[in-house]
């Protein structure tokens, strides 16, 4: 048997991952602390866009076990979940899902029975995970529309930055005098905010 790893994910910074961590430790008390990968990021992000999971994927080897509390930790869309399950299977990684107890059982001589049961349960749970995502997005859209009707929805609050400094640096960036990364550092802006600022500046000057 290889190493045992755990993966814990919550969707945003305000959520607490402790319940998932405790569940994994309760089922597998001997799991090493360093082998539990934890991150706070949306399940809608691709596997390569989740830093901790991307590292975990590189660490996993044939014969290792990966423990998660629920199937939707791998993703929220059914197609994404199935693709990741195929990836793990192809890599020879054994997946343990706390909410699907049959994945925790070892059954010699009747592995095909367990595979059949697990495949059926995974089909059901992945469908539920995707439906929950669709419903969540529907409620969010409905809430935004209602807020707009009442005139209280303001949208995303723009990040404040020194616009005059941005205007001074912009020509140097466009002419190749400085790289985009250096421009961002000088303005103390993240890439998404930086490119929004570029779009806003270009719209106001053209």
Q: Report the catalytic residues.
A: 11
> Who contacts 43 (Cβ-Cβ below 8 Å, separation ≥6)?
9, 11, 72, 73, 74, 75, 76, 133
Q: Which residue has the tokens 């405790």?
A: 22
Q: Are 57 and 28 in contact (CB under 8 A)?
A: no
**Cα 140 from Cα 17, distance rounded (Å):** 23
The rounded distance, in Å, linking the Cα atoms of 72 and 130 is 8
SS3 28: coil
């Amino acid at each position: 048997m290889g190493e045992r790893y755990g993966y814990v994910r919550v969707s945003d910074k305000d959520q607490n991952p402790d319940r998932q961590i405790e569940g994994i430790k309760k089922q597998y008390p001997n799991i090493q602390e360093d082998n539990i990968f934890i991150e706070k990021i949306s399940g809608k992000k691709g596997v390569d866009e989740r830093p901790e999971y991307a590292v975990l994927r590189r660490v996993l080897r044939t014969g290792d076990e990966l423990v998660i509390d629920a199937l939707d930790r791998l993703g929220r869309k059914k197609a994404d979940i199935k693709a990741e399950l195929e990836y793990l299977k192809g890599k020879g990684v054994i997946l343990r899902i706390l909410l699907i107890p049959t994945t925790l059982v070892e059954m010699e001589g009747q592995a095909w029975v367990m595979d059949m049961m697990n495949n059926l349960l995974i089909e059901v749970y992945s469908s539920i995970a995707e439906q929950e995502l669709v419903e969540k997005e529907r409620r969010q859209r409905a809430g935004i529309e209602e807020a707009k009707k009442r005139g209280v929805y303001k949208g995303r609050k723009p990040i404040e930055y020194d616009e005059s400094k941005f205007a001074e640096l912009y020509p140097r960036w466009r002419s190749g005098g400085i790289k985009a990364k250096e421009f961002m550092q000088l303005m103390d802006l993240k890439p998404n905010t930086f490119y929004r600022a570029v779009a806003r500046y270009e719209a106001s000057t053209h």
